[in-house]
Chain A
Amino acid sequence: MHAARPSPRKTLLALSLAFIASAASAQTATETELARKLDQLAAELAAVKAQLAQIQKERAAQPAAAPAVAAAPAAPAATSSAAPSQPATVLTSYGEINYNRPTRASENAQADVRRFVLGYQHRFDAKTKVVTELEVEHAVSSADDPGEVEVEQAYVEHQFTPTWAARAGLFLIPAGLLNENHEPTSFYGVERNFVETAIIPSTWREGGVQIVGAFDNGLTVQGGITTSFDLTKWDATSTEGRESPLGSIHQEMALAKARDLAVFGAVNWRGVPGLLLGGSLFTGNATHGQATTQSRVTLWDLHARWTPGRWDLSSVYSRGTISNTAALNATLVGNPTLIPKSFDGWYVQGAYKAWSHEDYALSPFVRWEQFNTARSFDDLGPGLTPEAARTERVVTVGANFQVTPQIVVKADYQRFRENKDLNRVNLGLGWSF
């Protein structure tokens, strides 16, 4: 007979037969001994099984001791890196590098490192973390250079219950669609839209406390008390206030006057996947006892975003008002930029992911926006009351090209109705992680 490899079945049969044979023949006192050994083996086997199950469970849960570099990036590599580990301190960053070329005044073409932002999030425990962001604008910041360095966010967040969390420190005001999500990868177009820069002064942050409630019906509510604007900063001789009324008087918590505080609230509903409806309201006095009268700044907005399939449709309306501007403007009559009583703007935007392949995606978009940074002025008397500004309308047509989900190349063309010299072509590169 050939020395064939014993098949498992044959081996088992042989063993069983041998076992039965020996069991049948040895009806001796060793029987109980064997029975005891059998029980012992069974118990050990059960223990080993349990251990194995435990180890398997732990292995499924525990991240492998992979080196820090292999901690799963957002687009995981196709090699055998283990499940992502949870780092306590994470560096975040985003950057925008832009090129603008006015079509009617090409001598004003400009290339700029618009923003370079570094931040970190550090998680103290499962419920508490700190979030910070530091921004450098226009590449070089010094007394002779155009750049600025600023702390954009610096707050602590604590989750009290699954529904309620609180933030304290310097945080973004939940207004519009852009302010809280202002990374270059989250908006269409090279430059941020005018409604959310000239009317809502993105990136708008205030210092204070905030409560966030996230409900199971898709509703998120936010509310808080923060620092307010500073109307005594209004410079009637410069054009800053005409470009963005609130942008010229925001304090950014830099030695901010804090006698007057503001309250805000925001409601956002995401109950239906792909749909967002929401609004916000911010109001606070802004003269801090340093002007002849008290004056209140109020800004509210409504926004919606719908992303059915490959479409991305969004719209924002925002309006701001300032009270008692007649008294504040009385001493500034004749200057080019007085404090407006109201200012507002809206836009509609549509984008479509026309082409995608793996991580690449090309999304052309169109945006139509109208805004007026001085919609009305309080009456100061004949010959003294400034005329309301003309409403500007900007149409932006372009495309975002996603290289990876966190890197985007953008190009667009913007047409201005009033200030035609601003018509321009824009190119931009942005990243965010």
Chain B
Amino acid sequence: MRLTLAASAFAVSAAAPAGAFAVDYLSIDQAAKLMFPDAETFDTRDVTLDASQLQQLDAQGVKARSAHWSVRVAKRGANTLGFVVFDEVIGKVELISYAVGIATDGSVKQIEILSYRESHGFEVRLPAWRRQFVGKGTGSAIKVGEDIANISGATLSCTHVTDGVRRIVAVVAAARRGGALA
């Protein structure tokens, strides 16, 4: 249990201009464009998972954390190219902002770290570490210590980001099954 001693007005703005703060690497728009360069538009869809979907996720071993998710659908014309979900997790004590791009077959296309402030574990940003997720879908474990390698000295950051990716993969799959992202 983390005790917040002073809830400040500090808001993590995904629209922060690139490079304004040393630890913010990408905005969500930039990340989305990186993942789907061919997309013309990104339609934002609000997805609310109902109780049965949440239970299903729980049965799969995924803690949904929230019923409400905002998914950007990458579209070129009428074609759906894929989905981008933006999320945040806490590493050890600091927020890590990241985005997951999911292809139409439900597997991870790309992940990008948007901002990272922990003193250790910045290596989650490195292409080599992020590449581990490419192609993984709901059938994969997506777990540190199984199919995702840890970064020595940053176990919590790696684990939380990995758990987050696994969660997003499952949530997007559930949302698509429910027709919310048609």
Interface residue ranges, A against B (CB under 8 Å): 53, 56-57, 59-63, 68, 71-78, 80-92, 120-121, 123, 126-127, 129, 131, 157, 159-162, 165, 177, 180-181, 186, 212, 214, 216-218, 220, 270-276, 305, 307-310, 353, 356, 358, 361, 405-406, 433
Contact = CB atoms under 8 A, between A and B. Distances in A.
Contacts of B64: 78
A211 to B, nearest CB: 13
A62 B11 contact: yes
Given A88-B10, A91-B5, A353 B63 contact: no
Contacts of A186: 153, 155
A222 B1 CA distance: 32
13 contacts: A61-B14, A61-B28, A72-B89, A78-B54, A84-B89, A84-B95, A86-B11, A86-B95, A89-B6, A186-B153, A273-B123, A310-B146, A405-B159
B65 A81 contact: yes
Interface stretch (B17-25, B73-81, B102-110, B171-179): B17-25
Contact of A272 (B1, B66, B67, B128): B128
Contacts of B10: 86, 88, 123
A90 B128 contact: no
Given A90-B4, A91-B2, A307 B149 contact: yes
B90 A74 contact: yes
Q: Which of A78, A86, A181, A307 has the most CB of B within 10 A?
A: A86
Contacts of A91: 2-3, 5
Contact of A273 (B93, B149, B153, B156): B149
Contact of B153 (A53, A73, A180): A180
Contacts of B117: 123, 126, 129, 159
A127 B44 contact: no
B52 interface: no
Q: Across chains A and B, which 10 residue pairs bring their CB atoms closest together, nearest first?
A: A274-B149, A273-B149, A60-B70, A276-B152, A89-B5, A87-B4, A88-B8, A126-B21, A76-B65, A159-B22
Nearest to B72: A60
Nearest to A89: B5
Nearest to B97: A61
A126 B12 CA distance: 10
- The A interface is mostly helix, strand or loop, or mixed, namely loop
B128 A218 contact: yes
B30 interface: no
B145 A273 contact: no
Interface string B143-178: 001111111110110011000000000000000000
A92 B93 contact: yes
A80 B152 contact: no
Nearest to B21: A126
A218 B123 contact: yes
A273 B61 contact: no
Given A127-B23, A160-B22, A87 B87 contact: no
Interface in B108-136: 117, 119-120, 122-123, 125-126, 128-129, 132
A74 B160 contact: yes
Given A57-B14, A74-B160, A77-B65, A309 B5 contact: no
Given A61-B13, A162-B22, A270-B151, A84 B90 contact: yes
A57 B126 contact: no
Given A76-B65, A162-B25, A274-B150, 19 more contacts: A68-B7, A74-B156, A78-B64, A83-B66, A86-B8, A87-B5, A87-B7, A89-B6, A90-B5, A126-B24, A129-B117, A162-B22, A177-B153, A214-B122, A218-B128, A271-B128, A272-B128, A273-B129, A405-B155
B86 A76 contact: no
Contacts of A86: 8, 10-12, 94-95
B182 interface: no
Contacts of A276: 151-153
B152 A307 contact: yes
A308 B21 contact: no
B7 A85 contact: yes
A59 B146 contact: no
A121 to B, nearest CB: 5
Interface in B23-51: 23-25, 28, 44, 46
B4 A71 contact: yes
A120 B2 CA distance: 11
B146 A309 contact: yes
A129 B93 CA distance: 12
Contacts of B54: 78
B15 A307 contact: no
Contact of B126 (A80, A92, A216): A216
A415 to B, nearest CB: 27
A272 to B, nearest CB: 6
Given A84-B95, A157-B119, A73 B1 contact: yes
A271 B151 CA distance: 10
Contacts of B123: 218, 270, 273
Nearest to A276: B152
Contacts of B120: 180-181
Nearest to B147: A309
Nearest to B57: A78
Given A61-B15, A276-B152, A56 B65 contact: no
